[in-house]
Structure 1
Amino acid sequence: MKKAPDKCVFKRENGTYYFRRAVPKELVGRIGKREWKVSLKTTEYGRAHAEGVAIFERTERQIAQLRGTARSADPVEAGLPASDEQVEAIAAAVFSRSATMTIGRFEGHVVAGRVQGNAAAETLQKLEAEWASLQASTPLGAIHTEFLALLPKIEQRANRDIDPMSALGVKLRRAHWQMMKSSLRNRIAQLKGDADELAALNSSRRPRPDLKLLVELFRKHRTADWAPSTHQKFDAVSAVLLDILGPNLKLSAIDREVGRDLHEVLHDLPPNYKKRRQLAGLSAREAAAVGREKGLPKLGRKTLEDYLNHISSVFEFAVHEDLIKGNPVKGLKATATKTDADRVPFTQSDLVKLFSAPIFTGCVDDEKSWREPARTQVRRGRYWVPLVALHTGMRLNEVCCLRKGDIKFEGSVRYIEVSDSGGRRLKTENARRVIPMHPQLLKLGFWDWVQSTPGGDDADLFPELQMDAKGSRTNVFSKWFGRLRKSVGITDAGKTFHSFRHLFTDLLREASVSMENSERIMGWTNNHVQRGYGRGPSLNSLSADMNKIDLSMASIDHLIPLQKRQLSE
């Protein structure tokens, strides 16, 4: 049974991924090794998986070629390049790799532009060898891919009598005629000592791929398993990339200077520049210039890092496919000064304001009238999500996606399991973890509330939270939380829902929780450490550390149900 690509990607102890696949036994002698083993040079699973799939596909092609099982669709049915321009481009590309080829090979074999006799087989054999030496993504793109797949079939038919007037015959005659012309040019150039002229002739015949094509190829071959939200981010980044450098920029022109220029423009680019009135109608480069001149806000460091990571992935793909010589942005970092939005925890004053709002103390309802005070507490998503984040440091997406079965207990420890089961997506592979409940969260009645909710383990804890068009609750909740924050007077743009996570990180440090356990609780540690979660001392150790965290600064005793307050007294 053929092995799936994701079964060939493994992780080293240092966190770096590598590709490993056994060579079929019958091909070991021909390939010269027992396995393919390649470092993927990344600790990020998403990038490793994409790279692994690409390597897997290359090994599949090699296996198929050696076994003689490469695609054998009829050339006429599948379609060789039909136009003269495409045929000439292919031939020019082949012969650009062999500038010393002479016309002698073809002398006596060409009559009225057609190759006769054994020369057809010999020439096609040469053609196949040349093409096999090229990698799967030469600048000829799709033309090359189809043509390469057809070569085995062409060779099989080359030794037969081919009707020169058939579709295949016409196309072969075109290709061979172009070979002869290329060889003549080559011979003339050699005699004149004008190799530069030959190179210019060859390059003028070859289609020159541009940045737009590169982005399209990357999207086609590297994004299939991405989450919708990641697709959305990439669409935004690629639009900016094409806006800054231009969709028609030839890949041959991309070098380090282009990378530095791109890096500089990104650092001056105002966020949401297309939506700003004062920047309406401006290109990204123009918006960056105006932003620099007028001192407008710039992209935050985290956003810059995301942009550069996506862009670097595109260029690494191009390097891997031999479309460019080097990644022009490799090593270029997001050097913007940390903005307030990068890392600002809530203060005690902020927490008092937040948890004194009607949505927590009592409101008419938790939908349209959440600002209007009332005596009834409405304990649903808008009530619990901020409180859970305060007591666990969980990310917004992690809390919004909780299901009833994620709230568990083992022995005397009640805990929350952060999982990607059921199609849920986590920010990183390391985000899978368990978090013991803080005693104060239990006093607030979260455990009891979960047990009282309808449905089984697969039921969403907060089904009433609205989703956006892509099925995410996070974006909608984040916007609502922004309105809540402003309604209680917290106007600092650097304070967002993520400020709960920054605060919890500080509280772990203040409680002298070990780095190892802090990383486990926050979801920063490697997976091999996390596999012991939920069993024995590990969970008890985490629970003991959670009990050390002092959250009295939040002043939320007024939210504890009366009966639990009486029990604690």
Structure 2
Amino acid sequence: MALMTTRPWKHPKTGIYYLRRAVPADLLARVGKREEKISLGTKDPVRAKGLHASALLELEQRWANLRCGAASLSEREAHELAAPLSAWWFDQHRDEPSQQTFWRTDLGDGLWPRRPPGWSLRPAVGAALIEEAADSSVHARCAMEDWCSEQADALLKRRGLVVDETDRRKLARAVAAVMQRASLALHAAMRGEAVDVGQTLVVRPAMPTSAMATPPAEMAQNSLLPISLTALVEAWWREAERTGKAASTHEAYAHAFRLLVAFLGHDNAHRVTKHDIVRFKDHRLASRKRNGDLVSATTVKNSDLAALKAVFGWALDNGRIIENPALGVTVAKAAKVKLREREFTAEEARTLLRAASDLTPGRELPQTYAAKHWIPWVLAFTGARVGEIAQLRRQDLRRETVAGYPEGVWVLRITPEAGTVKTKQAREVPLHPQLVELGFPAFVEGGRGERLFIVPDVKGQIAGPLQGVKNRLSEFARHHVIDPGVSPNHSWRHRFRTVATEAGVSGNVIDALCGWSAKSVGERYGSVSLKARTDAIMRLPRIEV
């Protein structure tokens, strides 16, 4: 049931106040959602009350306009509707007026130029078009015109007005006139001249500035266009990183937005609609991966759409956009046909490990060859996630004294210091004797670089190279184990639990080795010692290939 509130609603996580109002039944089809949720852009409860009253009046007016259907817009009404943009624009740049570079006052009076009669029949029209295309001022003017049209659409949407194309253009021209006056006032302020904002800029907006069509934070940073989808992800990440979100999450979300930009053909966050997100979802469901398989519905739901919902939701809560276009878009959950267990069979494990052992260096990077040669073996005896092993450093392996093992034990430390660890907690996994016999410690100690299996990029980052190595490992495994019922890398993790359980290792020790969270409060008490972990690893049988 949609929420009906007569007072500001405080978001439980962000503390920002909102106007929330159920959409009347007769407007559901036109509005396209069951509830209006409008950010008031403040955490101050006193200020929120005044903004809530203004926003509620505006919302009621919008609904009244929608009930009236199509309307006509006079030039006077268009200028009155666009007037609040003037004060808002001036406020963005009043402190540093010289930094305003988007709106060019030398072009502001000449937008939407009209061609003279017979222009297209000129003998040299082709040369004129080529010359025009090379003129940078033409591109700047087009950007300004597009911006004004988008602001006009946003204003009409906020008021619930439905007008024809002529009146839409009329409002866009009114927006341009307001922007021109405000920008000229900024030029005067830049020269140190006194500017009477109250007279020059008409009126201040009655609506909360956080609900304006263009995000104040981006304009304050002198963005040449309304906020881009790419910039939106990066703005989200600047905050998410400080809350402990993993770099892999950033990469996954950024990838989803790159796919969206490529699909839409533009990078403007304010132009994205719910219909666009639905079309993108359908496009992704029909897309194929590099191996020719269709992208799974799970990937579209839990990766692509999850990323869009999270970032757009953050942008809405922080006043960057006026609605979350991904809200409510999902993929129906279908029952998955299971024809086999998810772990490798004993024969599949032997086949893959035999291929890894017999592999000879090719034209690929030495680190990629080493990954294919060693990582399957390490996964088989640690139950680790493939990324946790692929990002290993030389210092992550050490020899440790353990009671009952006089010659010491090689211990692998899986730690967030090396990269992404899902639980964000370091853990220690002793090496199985077969890994020692195969020479894994000698390989680690003989490494030249810090990273064993990846080469960081020019900025020293590992997210991209790490994903590349994981992809190569997946392709390598799939070449030898073709059954789609198993995951090329993750099935080692399933097999490890099965083998360890058969060897008599207790569940809490398996969880500690694999980095699984405790299932109950009681299991969170105490810890699994290095000796208990070593005893468990020593129980695992050798794998003869």
TM-score by length of structure 2 reads: 0.51
1:403 has 2:478 as partner: no
* Corresponding residue number in structure 2 for 1:240: 259
In the alignment, is the contact (CA less than 8 A) between 2:247 and 2:420 conserved in 1?
no
In the alignment, is the contact (CA less than 8 A) between 1:238 and 1:311 conserved in 2?
yes
1:555 has 2:529 as partner: no
1:134 has 2:220 as partner: no
Tell me how far 1:392 sits from its aligned partner: 0.5
In the alignment, is the contact (CA less than 8 A) between 1:466 and 1:476 conserved in 2?
no
SS of the aligned residue for 1:266 comes to helix
SS of the aligned residue for 1:435 comes to strand
| 1:13-412 correspondence runs (5 A) | 39=13, 74=95, 76-79=97-100, 82-83=104-105, 120=196, 127=203, 133-135=208-210, 138-141=212-215, 145-146=219-220, 213-223=227-237, 233-234=252-253, 236-242=255-261, 247=266, 251=270, 254-255=273-274, 260=278, 262-272=280-290, 297-299=294-296, 301-302=298-299, 304-320=301-317, 321=319, 323-326=321-324, 328-330=326-328, 332-333=330-331, 335=333, 338=336, 344-357=342-355, 360=357, 366-368=360-362, 382-408=372-398, 409=400, 411-412=402-403
Distance 1:124 1:342 in 2: 74
1:539 has 2:530 as partner: yes
Tell me how far 1:74 sits from its aligned partner: 4.9
Distance 1:232 1:446 in 2: 34
Distance 2:336 2:299 in 1: 9
Letter in 2 for 1:418: I
* Corresponding residue number in structure 1 for 2:429: 436
Distance 2:430 2:535 in 1: 10
Tell me how far 1:491 sits from its aligned partner: 2.7
Tell me how far 1:411 sits from its aligned partner: 3.3
Distance 2:350 2:221 in 1: 69
Distance 2:151 2:328 in 1: 34
Distance 1:91 1:498 in 2: 49
Distance 2:267 2:220 in 1: 24
Distance 2:298 2:339 in 1: 9
Of 245-254 and 86-95, more deviation after overlay is shown by 86-95
Letter in 2 for 1:240: L
Letter in 2 for 1:325: E
Deviations 1:252-292 (Å, cap 9, x if unpaired)? 8834x6655544443343335xx97xxxxxxxxxxxxxxxx
Tell me how far 1:437 sits from its aligned partner: 1.7
Distance 2:150 2:465 in 1: 50
Query: Structure 2 vs 1, CA of residues 40 and 229 (structure 1 numbering), >3 Å: closer, same or farther?
Result: same
In the alignment, is the contact (CA less than 8 A) between 1:433 and 1:520 conserved in 2?
no
In the alignment, is the contact (CA less than 8 A) between 2:342 and 2:491 conserved in 1?
yes
Deviations 1:38-80 (Å, cap 9, x if unpaired)? 6369xxxxxxxxxxxxxxx999xxxxxxxxxx99965542348
Query: Structure 2 vs 1, CA of residues 343 and 233 (structure 1 numbering), >3 Å: closer, same or farther?
Result: farther
Letter in 2 for 1:141: P
Distance 2:195 2:300 in 1: 59
1:419 to 415, 435, 444: 415
In the alignment, is the contact (CA less than 8 A) between 1:417 and 1:435 conserved in 2?
yes
* Corresponding residue number in structure 2 for 1:522: 514
In the alignment, is the contact (CA less than 8 A) between 1:90 and 1:140 conserved in 2?
no
Q: Give me the identity figure in percent.
A: 14
Distance 2:410 2:447 in 1: 20
In the alignment, is the contact (CA less than 8 A) between 1:466 and 1:477 conserved in 2?
no
Letter in 1 for 2:392: L
* Corresponding residue number in structure 1 for 2:32: none
Distance 2:363 2:326 in 1: 53
Distance 2:326 2:352 in 1: 46
Distance 1:38 1:126 in 2: 37
Tell me how far 1:507 sits from its aligned partner: 3.2
In the alignment, is the contact (CA less than 8 A) between 1:407 and 1:415 conserved in 2?
yes
Query: Structure 2 vs 1, CA of residues 125 and 511 (structure 1 numbering), >3 Å: closer, same or farther?
Result: farther
Letter in 1 for 2:99: A
Letter in 2 for 1:437: P
Query: Structure 2 vs 1, CA of residues 322 and 77 (structure 1 numbering), >3 Å: closer, same or farther?
Result: closer
Distance 1:475 1:555 in 2: 30
In the alignment, is the contact (CA less than 8 A) between 2:379 and 2:492 conserved in 1?
yes
SS of the aligned residue for 2:351 comes to helix
Unaligned ranges ≥5, structure 1: 1-35, 42-56, 60-69, 100-112, 149-207, 277-295, 371-378, 557-569
In the alignment, is the contact (CA less than 8 A) between 2:412 and 2:428 conserved in 1?
yes
Deviations 1:540-559 (Å, cap 9, x if unpaired)? 344444445x444x325xxx
Distance 1:94 1:473 in 2: 45
Query: Structure 2 vs 1, CA of residues 518 and 258 (structure 1 numbering), >3 Å: closer, same or farther?
Result: farther
Query: Structure 2 vs 1, CA of residues 326 and 452 (structure 1 numbering), >3 Å: closer, same or farther?
Result: closer
Distance 1:268 1:98 in 2: 37
Distance 1:323 1:227 in 2: 25
Letter in 2 for 1:78: Q
* Corresponding residue number in structure 2 for 1:184: none
SS of the aligned residue for 1:417 comes to strand
SS of the aligned residue for 1:444 comes to helix
Q: Which has the bigger relative contact order, CA under 8 A and spacing at least 6?
A: 2
Query: Cα RMSD over matched residues?
Result: 5.7
Query: Structure 2 vs 1, CA of residues 97 and 307 (structure 1 numbering), >3 Å: closer, same or farther?
Result: closer
Query: Structure 2 vs 1, CA of residues 484 and 266 (structure 1 numbering), >3 Å: closer, same or farther?
Result: closer
Tell me how far 1:390 sits from its aligned partner: 0.7
Query: Structure 2 vs 1, CA of residues 519 and 312 (structure 1 numbering), >3 Å: closer, same or farther?
Result: farther
In the alignment, is the contact (CA less than 8 A) between 2:257 and 2:308 conserved in 1?
yes
Tell me how far 1:312 sits from its aligned partner: 1.4
Letter in 1 for 2:429: P
Query: Structure 2 vs 1, CA of residues 415 and 94 (structure 1 numbering), >3 Å: closer, same or farther?
Result: same
Distance 2:425 2:316 in 1: 33
Query: Structure 2 vs 1, CA of residues 300 and 486 (structure 1 numbering), >3 Å: closer, same or farther?
Result: same
Distance 1:351 1:138 in 2: 58
Letter in 1 for 2:347: S
Unaligned ranges ≥5, structure 2: 1-9, 16-40, 44-90, 112-143, 161-183, 186-193, 404-408
Letter in 2 for 1:436: V
Query: Structure 2 vs 1, CA of residues 98 and 431 (structure 1 numbering), >3 Å: closer, same or farther?
Result: closer
In the alignment, is the contact (CA less than 8 A) between 1:260 and 1:329 conserved in 2?
no
In the alignment, is the contact (CA less than 8 A) between 1:434 and 1:521 conserved in 2?
yes
Distance 2:502 2:269 in 1: 54
Deviations 1:416-451 (Å, cap 9, x if unpaired)? 111232xx42153x1532233254446535575368
Distance 1:431 1:522 in 2: 13
SS of the aligned residue for 1:436 comes to strand
Distance 1:386 1:269 in 2: 30
Query: Structure 2 vs 1, CA of residues 343 and 142 (structure 1 numbering), >3 Å: closer, same or farther?
Result: farther
Query: Structure 2 vs 1, CA of residues 468 and 438 (structure 1 numbering), >3 Å: closer, same or farther?
Result: same
